[in-house]
Every structure is written in C-alpha cells, then in structure tokens.
Structure 1
C-alpha cells in the first residue's frame, strides 16, 4: 500500500457515498446546541425536566463575592476533581468564562476580581453538572448570578422583593453572602450584619421563601478576616457571634434550616487560606439538600402517582 491518502479496497469492498443514502424512515432532525451563555429561567427547563437539579440562589450586595464564589467552582474543576466531585458538563461554559476571565493573569490585572453583574435577572443562571464518584451519582446545579444592586434595592422593600425576585421561591438553597472585607473593618461590621438580616426578613415578608428552602449564611473573603485577626484579636470572637445574632432575628423563617459557612474563594493571602477555601463543604451541603427536604412519613399520600413514586424509592405505604 502506497504511503498516501488512498486506501486499497478488496475486490468485494464497496465505496459508500453518504450523500446517496436514502431512507424514507429517516427524517431530518435538528439538534439545537447551547450557545454557552448564562440561561434564562425558561431555558433551564430542558435541564430540570429530565435530570436531578438543585437551584442555588446566591444573594448579597454588590462586591460581596457572589460572582467570585460561583466562578471559582468552575475554575477549580479545570484543575481537577474537588473532593469526590468531577466535572461532568455545563451548558453555560461561555457564561462562566466571561465572568472568570478577570480573575486570571491573562487579564493583566494586579488583583484578581470579577466584573459586576449587570442589573436584571433575565439571563443570569449558570449551569454546572458534577459526578459524585463516591455515590456514583450525577448532580445538576443551577447557580444564580443576580446583580448586587438589584438585591440592595429590594432590601426592606417587600413589593420590589416580591415583584423582582419571585424566582427565589423556586430555590432549593438560598446562599446569603456576608462580605468578609466589611466584617474585617470595624466601621462597616455591624451594618453589614444588619443588611443580611434585613434581606432575609424582607424575603420572608414578601413570601418568596418556600417552606422547604435551606438558607445558608456564607462569610466570604475569610482570608481577610484571618489576616486582620493579627492586629484585632476580637474579630474572630465577633465572627463566631454572627450565627447567634442572625438566628435571633430570623428564627421565624419557614423551616429554620439555616447553616453557616466561611469561605475564601479567591484569597488574596494564600498563606492562611488556599484557593477555594471552604467551597467543598458548601458543595457537599448542596448535594445533601434532597435528604434534608424529604417528605415526612406522616404526610398521607392521596395521589396514586405519588404513591407509585414512593414505592419506587423503596418506601412502605
């Protein structure tokens, strides 16, 4: 056989021209591939209708670290698995890239930062699909990236919260970000906690919190707090008191399921906190949501469809 692009065919071999194949039973099918941009709520239906999905709403004021938190998950999976979780796909790769670019050295910025999210929530949902190798289970996460200015305008305004953030009612988890930078500064410390409390109180008053939602309070930029503790030893004591301060004000939330986390997604001081500090624990809490939100056994099932579903899950009716 000559060393060229032509293949020698045996005598019985036939050359098949794909263009000449005609089958009346085969119809033209057009598959629409995702553009990769952030999704609208309507566009998420193609994911939620066919696969196990958790909707994570990340809330907080501008520059508190919402977008950095979301995009750091994406960047960590480019380096490898996170704990037992492996990247298994995303329909919003371009959306992640647009937000993550400014945290990289190629952006030529002196400090890593993410651009402000533009106002409006029409197309601000990012998709991340992961494989839990320990349980051999796939998880889909829809992560909101709504504008901090929009959240700030809705704090203490029930009508705006109800009108602009009704989508929150579909959330499995609401992550309320408390800016660690502001906590590290005595000037802003108390007002920052009060704003987080007011946000939760407004959500509750606006009836945008479902009865099964899990609320997670996340202190971002925790590396700055650790660094500040060298000159202000009382700051760590104050941080430890935040949980009691918040629980004392929002104890009447639907199911009182409130958790607290400390993270440093993109730490400025890597000597005290590694890249993605605290994100694995946060991710694990999201995958456990369905176990927390299980249907109580004392609820009487009247629908035959629901009864069948419970049997398939191994329940005894």
Structure 2
C-alpha cells in the first residue's frame, strides 16, 4: 500500500521572531490614527503616556513651556484643607461642567484618585478626609486641563500645596526661601488659607491669622512674585463658622483679615477674600461651596500691566525669541 506522506507529515509550528515577542510585551500603546506620532527608540507609531501621579516642579516645565498654563499655589498649615480643595474641584468635574469650564484632561489622574479616596463612600469612613502631604514629598503638583466655553481656550492648571511648616522653616531668612523655592516667582496665584475651625475657636483665632500674615510676608519679602501675580485669602471649612451663626464673630474675623489684605496690596494689585467649604458637614452647606467663585478668580485674566508688555514697549523686542525669554 502506498503511504500518504501528506497525511503522515507532522505539522510545523511557526516560531515567533524575537522582534514580535518584544512587540507583544512592550508597555507602549500603539496609536495608528494619532495625529501626534512620536519617534522613540527608533520606533514610529508609539506615544509615551504620562505616569498619572502628582508632578514634580521639573515635570511641570514641558506643560508650562508649550501650552497656556496657570500655576496655583495653596499655602496653609496642616489640616487647613489645601488638598481637599484641590481634590473637590477635580471631583466636581465628574458631575458636570463647573464655573463655565469643561474637563479637558489631566496628567495626574492617579494622583487625584489616591488623594480623593478618603472623601468617598467606598473608604467607609464616617467623615471625609484627605491624607497629609509630607514636607519631604517633591511630587506636589496636580494637573487639570480645562476648556473655557466662552473664550474657547484650553488652559492647564497646576495646583501645588505648600505646608505652613515649610514656609516657617524659612522665617527670618528670605535668602534661603528665594533660593530653594525659586520656581514660585512664576506663580499666577497664591492662595493663603485660614482654617475656619481654628477661626471659630477664640483661643486659636489670633494665632491662625498671625500665621497666615507671617507666611505671606515671608514669601513677598523674598520677592517670589511678579506684577501679574494674584492673591486669594481664603477661609476654609466655612461651614463651621456658618454653623455658629454669629455675625459679630465674622465681622471681627473680617477686620483681622483686612490686615493681611493691606499687607499684600503693597506688593500686588489684585487681592480677593473667599469663603469655602469643600467637604462641609452634611446639611450645613453644599459640597464645593465657594469653589466656583474661587475657580473663576483663577481663570480671570489679569487686569494690571504685564511685565512682558512693559519690556516689549521699553526695549522694542520685535523678535519672538526675545519676547519668549522675558515671558519665561
């Protein structure tokens, strides 16, 4: 009988080439339809995704250098509500557009999520909290890109919080803070936070206000600002003061806060006072109370004369390269 070699022949297995295996296990994501293809390691068709965590100062540079950006620095003592304000703004955009702005992206989604966890039901905590930011942490910036429906402009917002302890470590020595925190010179807005819980306590009220005054003076005496810098003096946890329903108490607090405003107006032209309750006690105020007004203040164009404009007028810098130097 004649053997059928075709039937008895063992099937051959196709061995994947090493290049195919490398492609399978590579962490990059191929984006064939992307308009923005980046050449990396000799390969085309791949883009590098952001790590999603909070950003360092250095990691903010590519954002601020290439797109419209605003840097917001929140300054206050431990438990004053800095991180809660940042994360509540992020969470409000998960409901709907906020303050006339639309969520347009973020390079620090993981950073927001890990800070927001303890404000949510799945954390099973009785009250909303946020983890404390350590002084040693260098990843301090959270990033939001927002689209303004009126101006049709996308703006990157970089929110950084600095502990009161960090500022106090430089009290009486403006040279050290100007050296170690030189990046603050390009800040668009400073937010000095007074804890409403402390203000409601007559034994702690004056200390809280004096602390904010000294922090503001330290930063501005160190000349870490420009003519376009805006300042917001903010009372956080306002629901605690509101619950007292004491008009005389609020009037007394306003009078003391005016001392901080008067100090700051010696340096910058735009200083506003805000009352905020990011995560208030149930039934007192709505979640995010005062944040819409605060975000609108950050989004508002500066009304004073810009430093860049004065340089261009005085020195007639017609070159776009020279203009960029002064803008930076």
* TM-score bracket, shorter-length normalisation: 0.7 to 0.9
2:160 is aligned to 144
TM-fit CA distance, 1:273: 1.7
TM-fit CA distance, 1:218: 0.8
Corresponding residue SS for 1:154: coil
Greater share of strand residues, 1 or 2? 2
Larger radius of gyration: 2
Alpha carbons 1:40, 1:125 under 8 Å: kept: yes
1:275 is aligned to 287
TM-fit CA distance, 1:32: 1.5
**TM-score scaled by structure 1?**
0.81
Alpha carbons 1:219, 1:262 under 8 Å: kept: yes
Aligned equivalent of 1:131, options 135, 139, 147: 147
Alignment of 1:14-29 (within 5 A): 28-29=43-44
Aligned equivalent of 2:131, options 86, 100, 115: 115
1:86 is aligned to 102
1:284 is aligned to 296
Matched, 1:239 2:274: no
2:317 is aligned to 303
**TM-score scaled by structure 2?**
0.78
Count of residue pairs brought into register by the alignment: 282
TM-fit CA distance, 1:183: 0.7
Corresponding residue SS for 1:143: strand
Matched, 1:262 2:278: no
Structure-2 change in CA distance of 1:72 and 1:292 (3 Å)? farther
Alpha carbons 2:164, 2:215 under 8 Å: kept: no
Corresponding residue SS for 1:139: strand
TM-fit CA distance, 1:123: 1.4
Note the aligned Cα RMSD (angstroms). Answer: 2.5
* Aligned counterparts of 1:199 and 1:60: Cα–Cα separation in 2: 8
Structure 1, unaligned stretches of length 5 or more? 1-18, 20-25, 310-317
* Aligned counterparts of 1:129 and 1:307: Cα–Cα separation in 2: 26
* Aligned counterparts of 2:305 and 2:157: Cα–Cα separation in 1: 16
Alignment of 1:1-317 (within 5 A): 28-29=43-44, 30-120=46-136, 122-229=138-245, 232-253=246-267, 255-268=268-281, 270-292=282-304, 294=306, 295=309, 299-305=313-319
Structure-2 change in CA distance of 1:71 and 1:292 (3 Å)? farther
TM-fit CA distance, 1:237: 1.2
Structure 2, unaligned stretches of length 5 or more? 1-19, 21-38, 324-328
Corresponding residue SS for 1:127: strand
* Aligned counterparts of 2:295 and 2:92: Cα–Cα separation in 1: 12
Corresponding residue SS for 1:235: helix
Alpha carbons 1:120, 1:150 under 8 Å: kept: no
TM-fit CA distance, 1:131: 1.0
* Aligned counterparts of 2:322 and 2:223: Cα–Cα separation in 1: 32
1:6 is aligned to none
* Aligned counterparts of 1:39 and 1:65: Cα–Cα separation in 2: 20
TM-fit CA distance, 1:28: 1.6
TM-fit CA distance, 1:112: 0.5
